Structure 1
Amino acid sequence: MYVLHICHSYYPPFLDCARQYAALFQGSPYKVVTVYLTGKPDAEVERGSASDEVIFLGYSSKQVRGLKLGAIAKIRQLVNSRDFAFCIAHRAKPTYVALLATNLPVVSVHHNYDDYGRFSRRILVNLYRKRLLMLCVSDSVRDQMRQHLKHWPAEQIQTLYNRIDVDAVKQSLLPRQEARQMLDIDDDTYVIANVGRLHRDKDQATLLRGFAQALPQLPANTLLLILGKGPLEQDLKALANRLGVANQVRFVGQVPDARRYFRAFDLFVLSSDHEPFGMVLLEAMAAELPIICSDSGGGVEVVRAFAPLFTLGSVEELSRELVNSVDYKIDNKIQLASDILIHSFSDEAARIRFFELIDRAWIHNKTLPPRVLR
């Protein structure tokens, strides 16, 4: 038996999303065939997909707009060649392709808000509701989707959190001294880090303002390290200058496989506005870092049991938490975070949860696959 796994693309972070879902079937009777609608064949992507077979359709983003007839025809041909039990499709477009190209039950995975906010987007999924199970990366995304699809049973719109291969991520981490050497950070520097695209949704502007306000009470050798690129880079650098903290802030730019360097940090801050989930939080937990997080979106669900939260956009609250973090005794919190990572956000935890959700959906709606083989 095969599982058809359709992804729009493999650019970050979606290659890792593909890996997460293929990993659910390791040790099971199923073989996973992952199909990327866009993107050229790439051996590294093929290895990173963790699938039994990877197919690159090679379309451009422009070519899969509209009805996506070419992609539908190729998926239909593929389905006719194998004994597929069901399909997993990431995001709206691959879900449409799966529904129109096959008669398979479809597990539709959603990583962002507002996927079905528009009426036109709801038409097709409403027509095919009886063979759909919607999985959202956080309760925050799930609750919004339930509002957009109000007549759907709750059993068909559920949460399956993002996750990591905890052992693999831990093994990939560079030792603290080596990571600091690679990033050109002195041993005695106190490092506050933020990793993410330089975009309004990540709200690094509030982080800069909170840092500037807290700086007089932070260690003299404190550095704010911002990893990532994006459209607001120049605006954020100008803001750092206006705040008088440019010498204490370093914009590192895009760092390939940035999570390898997390042990170079002393504190991790996520300042995002309506983050659907926040994979970097799991990576920070794997590196055993103390974390401060905004109270917006799915990130709260990851860290609320052990990390201080600040009101989204509140410079004063963030500043206070930055100061408090310096002397805060974190050993018990780090252990709690490690336990939560294993029990809620690991591949093993997700595998158990996934099959439970499949079973529950089947009990409610018998057009979905019956008690999927483990």
Structure 2
Amino acid sequence: MLHAFSTFQLGGPQARFVELANALGPMFRHTVVAMDNRFDAGERLHPSVNWAPMTLKVIKGGALANRASFRQVLRSLQPDLLMSYNWGAIEWAAANLPQVCHQVHVEDGFGPEEAARQLPRRVWMRRALLGWARVPVVVISRQLERIALQEWRLPEHRVHFIANGVNVPARMRPQRELVAGAAIHVGTVAGLRSEKNIARLIKAFARLRSVQPARLTIVGGGLLQAELQQLAQSLGVGDDVEFTGYLSNPGEKLKDFDLFALSSDTEQQPIALLEAMAMGMPVVATAVGDVPAILADVSPDNVCPPDDAAFAQLLLQVAQANSKWSAWSSRGHALVSSTYAKPAMLAQWQAVWAGQLAGVRATSLSHA
């Protein structure tokens, strides 16, 4: 298999790939390419995974600038299956037209430029390179499914929804008893990119910190870290905000939070949110992607529009409603156990990798 990413630094698509590759082991052989030649997520792959990074000479500045060189890679490798991930790797769909090998395209979500609306040029390119080329497309949220069908106008039989899945502990972690005067530990797990809007979370935390003891942990690295640290200092909460940077196992920090916060401008079905709920943690989030639907029967009032003032008010309300945390935690754990547990996801993705989607032949595993 050839997997084409915009980057192989740790993020949602990369984390899912690592989970799948580790679970399925030597059944598949993987070559990974990244448009930025960054392969940090590879350190999380188990030694039993048969994989290799492949560096590329990438020309920047044009959606089809690398088509010829990428097509040569496809002809040279002749993979059983090409997996391309999101808009950042759409050039691989162009390189595979006319078809060199069987392909599945995966859509996880959008960057800040498409947080509010679809860009017409990208809509047309997706429609042509995926729809007209008859490429099966996997989407990881119901919102993406609607967009793929209604805006990109992809055929219904070629769009496949697979929910994200996470490990679910048999028992919820015990909730820390908050005695009078104890600091509430708010946390998040996110790449420090503009669409995650960690600045919104820091501003909301500063308001919370002004009325009660609290601390904030931000797990994840990125180019905005220095800017966000400066913001925390300017708001007077620098000593109460911890930036861990990139962690290969963010779950070790996640389990220490009292309250998980998601402040993004755009999401689909955020894995970190599901992991927090699986542990039995109350959450507060912006109403983006599938998040309102996920929380509809758990804590429907714990979502708000992606607006700074609304999020600050919501964080304050949820933090002060700790008598409800236990019920929210129990319902969240139950929902993830029944709907977003990893075994179901693994089975569906194994079928994708084995070439069992409509329009993709069954892949021979004799090369593994």
Structure 2 length normalisation: TM-score?
0.74
Q: 1:200 to 1:47 in 2, by over 3 A?
A: closer
1:120, CA displacement in angstroms?
Answer: 4.1
Distance 1:202 1:259 in 2: 18
Distance 1:134 1:212 in 2: 42
Query: What pairs with 1:14-163 in structure 2 (closer than 5 Å)?
Result: 14-22=13-21, 31-38=27-34, 45=42, 48=45, 53-62=50-59, 66-79=65-78, 84=80, 87-91=82-86, 92-98=90-96, 100=98, 102-104=100-102, 106-113=103-110, 117-129=122-134, 132-150=135-153, 152-163=154-165
Matched AA of 2:31: V
Q: 1:208 to 1:324 in 2, by over 3 A?
A: same
Q: 1:370 to 1:346 in 2, by over 3 A?
A: same
Q: Does 1:197 align with 2:191?
A: yes
Q: 1:188 to 1:213 in 2, by over 3 A?
A: closer
Q: 1:47 to 1:79 in 2, by over 3 A?
A: farther
Could you tell which deviates more after superposition, 314-323 or 303-312? 314-323
Matched AA of 2:157: E
Distance 1:72 1:268 in 2: 43
Q: Gaps (5+ residues) in structure 2?
A: none
Query: What pairs with 1:324-339 in structure 2 (closer than 5 Å)?
Result: 324-326=318-320, 327-339=322-334
Question: Tell me, what secondary structure is at the counterpart of 1:329?
Answer: helix
**Retained in 1: the 8 A contact 2:204–2:315?**
no
More helix by share: 1
Distance 2:232 2:343 in 1: 42
Counterpart position of 1:184: none
Counterpart position of 2:279: 287
Distance 1:46 1:313 in 2: 36
Q: Gaps (5+ residues) in structure 1?
A: 178-186
Q: Does 1:226 align with 2:218?
A: yes
1:124, CA displacement in angstroms?
Answer: 2.7
Counterpart position of 2:201: 207
Distance 1:320 1:42 in 2: 37
**Retained in 2: the 8 A contact 1:214–1:320?**
no
Counterpart position of 1:180: none
1:155, CA displacement in angstroms?
Answer: 2.8
1:281, CA displacement in angstroms?
Answer: 1.1
Distance 2:38 2:267 in 1: 31
Matched AA of 1:341: V
Q: Does 1:341 align with 2:336?
A: yes
**Retained in 1: the 8 A contact 2:21–2:45?**
no
Distance 1:60 1:176 in 2: 50
Matched AA of 2:313: S
1:359, CA displacement in angstroms?
Answer: 11
Matched AA of 1:141: L
1:51, CA displacement in angstroms?
Answer: 7.7
Counterpart position of 1:183: none
Distance 1:96 1:321 in 2: 44
Q: CA RMSD in A?
A: 4.2
Question: Tell me, what secondary structure is at the counterpart of 1:289?
Answer: coil
Q: 1:243 to 1:139 in 2, by over 3 A?
A: same
1:192, CA displacement in angstroms?
Answer: 0.9
Query: What pairs with 1:212-291 in structure 2 (closer than 5 Å)?
Result: 212-218=206-212, 220=213, 222-291=214-283
**Retained in 2: the 8 A contact 1:342–1:349?**
no
1:293, CA displacement in angstroms?
Answer: 0.7
**Retained in 2: the 8 A contact 1:7–1:89?**
yes
**Retained in 2: the 8 A contact 1:5–1:32?**
no
Distance 1:99 1:165 in 2: 38
Q: Number of matched residues?
A: 341
Distance 1:41 1:245 in 2: 33
1:16, CA displacement in angstroms?
Answer: 2.2
Distance 1:291 1:346 in 2: 18
Q: 1:230 to 1:281 in 2, by over 3 A?
A: same
Could you tell which deviates more after superposition, 320-329 or 348-357? 348-357
Matched AA of 1:191: H
Counterpart position of 2:9: 11
Q: 1:314 to 1:55 in 2, by over 3 A?
A: closer
Distance 2:220 2:21 in 1: 28
